[in-house]
Amino acid sequence: MTDTDNIEHILLEHGIKPTANRLLVYDALCKSIHPKSITELECALETIDKSVIFRTLQLFYEHHLVHSVDGAQEGTRYEICHSHHHKEYGHPDEDEHIHFYCEQCHQTFCIEDTPLPQISLPEGFTRRSISIVVKGLCPECTRNQHFAK
Three-state DSSP at 105 gives coil
Cβ-based neighbours of 95, under 8 Å, separated by 6 or more: 67, 81, 82, 83
8-state DSSP, 90: T
Report the alpha-carbon distance of residue 82 to residue 101 in Å, rounded.
Answer: 20
Per-residue pLDDT tens digits for 125-142 = 998 777 788 899 999 999
Per-residue pLDDT tens digits for 78-111 = 988 865 444 444 444 456 778 888 889 888 888 8
Amino acid in position 28 = A
Cβ-based neighbours of 57, under 8 Å, separated by 6 or more: 25, 38, 41, 66, 78
In order of their start, the domains of the chain are 3-148 (1.10.10.10)
Give backbone dihedrals phi and psi of 15, rounded to 5 degrees, phi first.
75, 25
